[in-house]
Chain A
Amino acid sequence: MHRALSVLSRFALPALLSAVVALPAAAQALPGTEVGAQNLRPYHFLFIAYAIAWILVFGWVVSVARRLARLEKRLQD
C-alpha cells in the first residue's frame, strides 16, 4: 500500500500535473484553431477541474498515509 502510494506521489501526480499545464496550451497552438480552441475550452476547463480535485484530494490521502507510515516506523525504532 505504502509502495503504491509512493509510486503515485512520485510519478502519477507529476505526470497528471504536467498534462494539466500542457494540454490546453498544446490545443491552442494548433494552426487556425481560434474557433476550435473556443469550442474546446469547456473540455479543457472540465479536465482541469477534475485534475484539481484529484490532485488535492489524493494529495491529502497520500500525505496522511505517508505521515502515518513515517510515524509508525519512528515509533517502532
Chain B
Amino acid sequence: MTIEKLRRWGLALASLGVLGILVLHALVFFWVPTEASQGIIYAIVYVHAPSAWVAFLAFGIVALASALYLWLGDEKVDQAAVCAAEGGMIFTTVVLLTGPLWGKIAWGTYWTWEPRLTLTLLLWFIYLGYFLVRSSTENPERGKRFAAVVGIVGALDIPLIHLSVLWFRSLHPGPVVMKPEGATMDPRMLTTLMLGLLSFTLLFFGVFALRYALETATRAAAVRARAART
C-alpha cells in the first residue's frame, strides 16, 4: 500500500473513530443511566475499558508482528510492531491515569498494589523497555531483534491482567461483559460501552495507519539520504 493510500485510509478510520467518540460522549452524559452503587464516577468505564481493550489489541499486534519479524526478518512487520507499540503505550497511559481517579472515589485510594493494577503498570514498563532496547544497541538490526523478544514476552502479561481478577483476591470487580452466562449490565450501558470499544478501535487503526505511513516515509528518507552520501 502506498503512503498516500495509507494516509487516506488512516484519516477515514480516525475520523470515524472521532465521530464515534463524540456520539459516545453524548450517550454518556444524556442517555446512559447512572450506576446504582458507584454513581456518576462509574462513567469513567466508558473511556477506561475501551482504552484497556485497545492497549491489549495493540500489544497483541506487537507480539504477532515481532514473532513474524524474528521468523521472516521482514522490515515491514517490524514497522507495524513499533507503530502498534506506540499506540499501546498511549492507551495504557490513559488506563493508568483514569483508573486511579476512579479508584479514589470507589475505593478511597488512588493506588493500591493489587494484582491487576500492578500487572498493568508492569505492562507499561515492559513496553517502555521495548523502546529503550530498540535504541540502545549500536547495531540497529540487533536492537530490533532484542525489542522483538521484549514485544513477545510483554504480551504474556495480557492474559495475566485479564485473569488476575479471577485468580487472585482483587479490588477490581470481576468481568461484567465477558462472562459465560452473558453480560450482566444494563442494555443501555452495554450499548454505550460497545460503542466506546468500536470507536476507540477505529481511532487506533486510523492513527496506526498514519503512523505506519510516517514510519515508511521516515525509513525511505533515511535510505535515500544514505544513498546520496555514497
Footprint of B on A, CB under 8 Å?
Answer: 1, 41-43, 45-46, 48-50, 52-53, 56-57, 60-61, 64-65, 67-68, 71-72, 74-75
Contacts and interface: CB of A to CB of B under 8 A. Distances in A.
Contacts of B93: 56
Contact of B94 (A1, A56, A65): A56
B210 interface: yes
Which applies to chain A's interface (DSSP): helix, strand, loop or mixed? helix
A46 B40 contact: yes
A68 B101 contact: no
B217 A49 contact: no
A61 B207 contact: yes
B44 A71 contact: no
B221 A75 contact: yes
Contact of B214 (A1, A52, A56, A71): A71
B14 interface: yes
5 contacts: A45-B105, A53-B51, A56-B93, A61-B210, A71-B214
B221 A49 contact: no
B98 A1 contact: no
A45 B210 CA distance: 32
A50 B46 CA distance: 9
A45 B7 CA distance: 36
B97 to A, nearest CB: 5
Interface of B: 7, 11, 14, 25, 39-41, 43-44, 47-48, 51, 86-87, 90-91, 93-94, 97-98, 101-102, 104-105, 203, 207, 210-211, 213-214, 217-218, 220-221
A60 B40 CA distance: 28
The binding surface of chain B is classed by DSSP as helix
Contacts of A50: 25, 44, 47
Nearest to B104: A45
B44 A68 contact: no
A42 B40 contact: yes
A6 B104 CA distance: 35
A49 B48 contact: yes
A52 B218 contact: no
Contacts of B210: 61, 64-65, 68
Given A60-B87, A75-B221, A67 B94 contact: no
Given A45-B104, A56-B97, 9 more contacts: A45-B41, A45-B44, A49-B47, A50-B47, A52-B94, A53-B98, A57-B203, A64-B210, A71-B221
A52 B94 CA distance: 7
A67 B47 CA distance: 26
Contacts of A74: 221
A52 B220 CA distance: 34
Nearest to A53: B47
A29 to B, nearest CB: 20
